[in-house]
Amino acid sequence: MSQSRYQRVLLKISGEGLCREGGFGIDGEQLSKIGQEIKQVADTGVQIALVVGGGNFIRGEKLSKTTPIHAATAHYMGMLGTVINGLAVQDTLEHLGMVTRLQSAVAVDRVCEKFIRRRAIRHLEKGRIVVLAGGTGNPFVTTDSCAALRGIELGVDVVMKATKVDGVYSTDPKTDPQAQFYPRLNYNQVIDQRLKVMDVSAIDLCQQSSLPILVFNLMQPGNLLRVIRGETVGTLISKD
């Protein structure tokens, strides 16, 4: 069965992956594209957990700086945005024939399950794609930290961070043509060089558990499947 290098993976999709470039909200075409990429991978039999971001709706820190909204409230609003994305991703995947469960760290009983680690693992074992929303359930952190945390809790083999560029660069390749691409890095290099990959807390969590992080371009058709097959795609961050 296994055309996959991994048995169980966690894919982190940012909110910006669900809307048009620089946009807000949800774009049907983007959703369908991402759904197709995930379907190819689900068909290999690999177990998939997804963490969805919410930056296409609200980023707590930014909102609290520009409004009278308390920072904690703004972060909770951000978490609720990820639940909206989770619902959109769930229906997209089911529309394409995949079986899914949506779990949220913030209880929204009418629309999804609560995040329960053992239940999530059971779903994965049964071949269901588990969509994780609501972030960690706590304000002042991001869904990157949630991806690291859930990756460790669910015992995945790799955290895959989907981006719109090919991996990790020395500087932003969209604005700097001299930006250097890194095919491999260790956790300390990422932290010491302050490379913009994930929050330092997320990198730190992965380092503590020696959980590899693979940063890759999800917008390149077939890339997710290539990653799963173990082809050299993106940037691999690990202990050596």
Span between the terminal Cα atoms of the chain, in Å: 30
Encoded one letter per residue, x for contact with ligand UDP by CB under 6 A and - for no contact, window 62-91 reads: -------------x--xx-xx---------
- Per CB under 6 A, which region of 3-11, 47-55, 109-117, 159-167 contacts ligand UDP? 47-55
Candidates 24-32, 48-56, 88-96, 215-223; binding stretch for ligand UDP (CB under 6 A):
48-56
Minimum CB separation of residue 221 from ligand UDP in Å reads: 22
At which residue do the structure tokens 């500087």 appear?
Answer: 171
**Which residue lies nearer to ligand UDP by CB, 59 or 101?**
59
Candidates 143-151, 162-170, 190-198, 230-238: pick the segment binding ligand UDP (CB under 6 A).
Answer: 143-151
- Write out the H or E segment, with its range, that includes residue 48: strand 47-52
Beta bridge partners of 199: none
| List of E strands, 129-210 | 129-133, 158-163, 168-169, 181-182, 184-186
Is residue 8 near ligand UDP by the rule CB under 6 A? no
Helix and strand totals (H; E) in the chain: 8, 11
CB nearer ligand UDP, residue 53 or residue 151: 53
How many residues in total does the chain contain? 240
